[in-house]
Structure 1
């Protein structure tokens, strides 16, 4: 027996071993460009199942890699048991207390849909299918982060299974160090089965995308820089240089505003003086529809990404971004930060001094294209004023936790990992030890 052969007698959820039908499909991550070797897949039925699995893995000397559906996977899973937490799907909203209890498998879109009925919002990112827990464990950049900070800043409690297989409720009062680590330090310290998070008022949200031909990119970039230089915290504006396969290159501005349409249009007046766009779908929208703004894929596929933080978006940076065609990349996205991100945050990331985030994405249709995408990403990053630090959720499989955290923070995280999980039973996508 190697520890995986007896898994079916340990847990009530589905167990898949390498020779079982469906194993390959079950082990694959969201990003199909990442190979993810594992010894077994367990789809936990509930938190008790998770606890039983962790106890078994610890006694057998095995690691447990935790993923609801595989976002952020790096392939560092050789010999581990892949724990799928998608069935941990409890979701409860407390409208009066402006709180949500969110199971580990709950995607952001479900929280938004339920919160919207009460004029409330969580802190959603661009995709409605990413789990709230996964985003929070990585810190989390949200559409409303300029108003409310990191996604992790709003988390008030975690339900976990620790490395000894014990179920615990963790808050700033019960275990301040572990609570700090879980709010953005990654999934290396415990298996989170649910979390509690604050919700925020959102009686009106204005949002959408304006799209132009790429020939107007210099004018759009200039307007973007001027708008973001004076934007209030309630306004978030992203710029996207796009080149979809089979289409002409385009430039887009994506917007959310925690307020009414007239206020938003006043703040975005420079966009209305630009050449006529190809499309403009901005409107008052329910927070449940925020995922439609960028219309990111909601099914798995291959991709190569690179994230950076920009120290400025000056004339030189703008010129560099517009100097060459977007291809072979699919998108070059600039996200405005600032606002609440700059304020004190008792999380591993802490406050963000950098005013913009850069996200570069391409699709590896073949080896030559994959290499071209990587080369283009590297060249852009080296030519732009980047800080060298990046959010954990922006890391790609070739990077490590050292790319996200300062040496002091990383040392503290490593100490906590050693104290809470000295046998390295629980494996995050980006282990703090390497």
Structure 2
């Protein structure tokens, strides 16, 4: 591994080097990530040189801008950090963006906002745009514009032979299809281009109540989502943070004028007085403030599911017991553009809602209790059995995300484009 230092211009860290342990850690500190070396690439040429070296030496490469989605399947690999590939270019006339593999979602939003444009961001501003797109991507604005991957128009990649390539639907339709939602198992993406979307007006925020009002809040949530236009996205959160009483929140964004948004969300105003209400006209660069997710690494246990319905029985089940020891149980409204045709490995989403369950593994007993509570939710709610790739936890595989025919096609693309298994994604398609 010492030869790496003569192969690339970026920083190379080996076991025993100062900073190695910090550099190899994933975002989720509950995941152990053993690697043989860490390479912080200086640019795309560095990535290409690394791939050529790894292939000739029979080594694998696991690529992570900042470690989100890590599953720990990295034994013996070189961990490639792409954080220094951080260029952002906005073409407002064409409504296009080009971003390096290390660019975080919040940075793209800040660059697009002055032009009245937006990417398709999720709840956190610190995840990489490329990582979200490679996993398909559930966005705040997905009901209006579909998967994040649907907006990708081209990718700069380094293939398994160490060649830099520009991939589009015309140059290589199979690889283009696989990279738009199938994960990072097929090539290393160094930059991507995608369509931006108009966002001249955005209204959004969080309304928070004590948990005693959860039945009324859930009822209002169901009424709002039953008739919501595609421009409106509403999430419901059952929350129980350490040291505080249980709470329930509704998070919303609306791509449009404030008056129309308030009218659509009127059922919330008929509920008991909330603890807080942060709804306002906001720039798209401030979306991360709605849920205020942590912006520093930490340990966590998550489980995601897709719900086919949120009927009376499901609503009663959801509120039957406290969520503890979970910190949060989040319901995301889907539908809209998610249901339309999508030339991506996930395809259209027919499920109406997504469920995301999260808890802290503070000790082994608590970790077991968190997992058991997550399992109980999944066993008693109308889940479909499939999940978005970005929702998978370390114990799940690609078969949990993709239909059999899509998974077979992904495996075929992997076999043809990376027969020597140089690329080791968080969720390998061959497992």
What is the TM-score of this pair, normalised by structure 2? Answer: 1.00
Alignment partners' CA distance in 2, 1:313 and 1:323: 14
Native 8 Å contact 2:39 2:78 kept in 1:
yes
Helix, strand or coil at the partner of 1:208: strand
Helix, strand or coil at the partner of 1:193: strand
Helix, strand or coil at the partner of 2:331: strand
The correspondence for 2:287, drawn from 270, 285, 290, is: 290
- Counting only pairs closer than 5 Å after superposition, residues 26-425 of structure 1 correspond to structure 2 as 26-425=23-422
Native 8 Å contact 2:11 2:40 kept in 1:
yes
Helix, strand or coil at the partner of 1:402: helix
The answer for unaligned runs of 5 or more in structure 2 is: none
Helix, strand or coil at the partner of 1:239: strand
Native 8 Å contact 2:323 2:373 kept in 1:
no
Alignment partners' CA distance in 2, 1:397 and 1:258: 34
What is the TM-score of this pair, normalised by structure 1? Answer: 0.99
Superposed displacement of residue 329, structure 1 = 0.1
Superposed displacement of residue 278, structure 1 = 0.4
Helix, strand or coil at the partner of 2:406: helix
Helix, strand or coil at the partner of 1:253: strand
* CA deviation profile, 1:374-400 (whole Å, cap 9, x unmatched): 000001101000000000000000000
Superposed displacement of residue 19, structure 1 = 1.3
Alignment partners' CA distance in 1, 2:190 and 2:96: 17
Helix, strand or coil at the partner of 1:289: helix
Please give the root-mean-square deviation of Cα atoms over the aligned residues, in Å: 0.4
Alignment partners' CA distance in 2, 1:403 and 1:389: 5
* CA deviation profile, 1:199-232 (whole Å, cap 9, x unmatched): 0000010000000000000000000001000000
Superposed displacement of residue 326, structure 1 = 1.4
Alignment partners' CA distance in 2, 1:407 and 1:198: 29
Native 8 Å contact 2:306 2:355 kept in 1:
yes
Aligned position for 1:17? 14
Helix, strand or coil at the partner of 2:112: helix
Helix, strand or coil at the partner of 1:380: helix
Helix, strand or coil at the partner of 1:426: coil
Helix, strand or coil at the partner of 1:50: helix
Helix, strand or coil at the partner of 1:100: strand
The answer for unaligned runs of 5 or more in structure 1 is: none
Helix, strand or coil at the partner of 1:320: helix
Native 8 Å contact 2:98 2:192 kept in 1:
yes
